[in-house]
Amino acid sequence: MQVHKLYVLLIVFLPFTVESQNCSGLPELLKFNTGNAVTTIKAWEKHKKELKKQFDEEMFGTQPPVPKGVRYKVVHETATAIGGKASRKRVNLYLNNLDHPLELLIYYPNGVKKAPAFLGYNFWGNHTVTFETDIPVTAQWSRNNNIIQDHKATDKMRGFSASRWPVEAIIDAGFALVTLYHGDVDPDFDDGFMNGVHGLYPREKYSWGTIAAWSWGLSYVMNYLEKDNRIDAKKVAVVGHSRLGKVALHAGATDERFALTISNNSGCGGAALSCRKKGETIKAINDRFPHWFTANFKKYNEKDDSMPFDQHQLIALVAPRPVYVASADLDAWADPEGEYLSAFLAGEVYRLYGLNGLKSDKMPAVHAPFHEGSVGYHIRAGKHDITLYDWQQYIAFATKRFCL
Ligand code: GTR
């Protein structure tokens, strides 16, 4: 064969070559671990189980089963939140022997009988999501910062994260918002897996790290949402920023009740391909956050480019349910291009289902969102954060995908 013809063939058949990016060993999505090709949906569903097991054993750790049902109590309710546009409920969920409840803060759009919803953890407690003065300050362990000392949350942080939670825009679009503090489920420090929900299950049996614990917590919240008659539980989008974006992806990959999965600037261990070794590496994340993943994951320190699995496979586990990945152009630590490429590669599995993924292996320009298929993407100008612009894209994509 003439050399130029070979080039043409390569260009036509290889949607994206990763050789130039330290990714020559990147596992192919549509191949069983034996190397046999996955060509049908049935075969993919089988391969999915292999991949799930690999992520459990090598990266996130094995979770206990999510309890059936839910124990809860509505602790406060008002129909006149957000200038009368929303109802607001505080609901406590109880778990086995956990000594404190998971405290849900829920806003419902008034006038919508059963609302589609966004569900996501917040970083600092429900009192930081809003400036409303009647949301209690969390009593759980908080990370120290220039306001918080001795890991004790304070009223001075009220509204601190309000820019990340544009409640009014969400309500105006007809969505409910459900949030809770991730520290209610598991405190974000290396405590030998003793505190939070880790303490409720034997370690010998369940190797789950904190990301898997947070994701498990979201599934328990979903048990509640299925019982809440103001929520359309078939239209719940799980959303998270940064470490909580890793959690959203894990939750979407493991619990099929999440109808849409949204990863905002999730980076290493989230949407970004590890093989590229750009931004945060596996060693860097394991060193700083040894509790996020299972012990086995440490064996991949400095082996980012030779792992038997990578993050495009995690995204693909969400298929055929829609998924959205978002980056920010100044967020080099999260490797925006790596986030884009793994979302792009996951499209192969969506195509197997007759759905569309991202069209091109080239990243779109800043503020040129792609919302046409089952894999959504945008890159925003600015730093590592979740902003009104990001939420506007999620609202638009969810409105389309949920056919609202
Ligand atoms: C960083 C961490 C990232 C990301 C981020 C966050 O320090 O390296 O993986 O999760 O924290 O959650 O804000």
Probe ligand 1: pick from 211, 278, 280, 385, max atoms within 8 Å of CB?
Answer: 280
Sign of the Cα torsion 353, 359, 362, 364 reads: negative
Helices (H), 100-238: 167-172, 210-225
**pLDDT at position 96, please?**
82
In three-state secondary structure terms, 245 is helix
Distance (angstroms) between ligand 1 centre and the Cα of 334 equals 8
pLDDT tens, position by position, for the chain (404 residues)?
Answer: 444 544 444 444 444 455 446 788 899 999 999 999 999 999 999 999 999 999 999 999 999 999 999 999 999 999 999 999 999 999 999 998 899 999 999 999 999 999 999 999 999 999 999 999 999 999 999 999 999 999 999 999 999 999 999 999 999 999 999 999 999 999 999 999 999 999 999 999 999 999 999 999 999 999 999 999 999 999 999 999 999 999 999 999 999 999 999 999 999 999 999 999 999 999 999 999 999 999 999 999 999 999 999 999 999 999 999 999 999 999 999 999 999 999 999 999 999 999 999 999 999 999 999 999 999 999 999 999 999 999 999 999 999 999 99
pLDDT at 267: 98
19 dihedral zone (left: phi>0; alpha: psi -120 to 50; beta) = alpha
CA–centroid distance, 91 to ligand 1, in Å, is: 29
| 268 Cα: distance to centroid of ligand 1 (angstroms) | 8
**What are the structural domains, with CATH classification, of the chain?**
52-401 (3.40.50.1820)
Phi-psi region of 224 (alpha: psi -120 to 50; beta: other; left: phi over 0): alpha
Q: What is the model's pLDDT at position 7?
A: 45
CA gap 165, 158 in Å, rounded: 13
Confidence (pTM) = 0.95
CA 30/CA 36 separation, integer angstroms: 9
pLDDT of residue 21: 67
Whole-angstrom distance, CA of residue 119 vs CA of residue 257 = 12
Ligand 1, atom 10, lies closest to the CA of: 243
In contact, 253 and 342? CB cutoff 8 Å? no
Crossing angle of helices 243-254 and 41-55, in 10° steps, is: 130
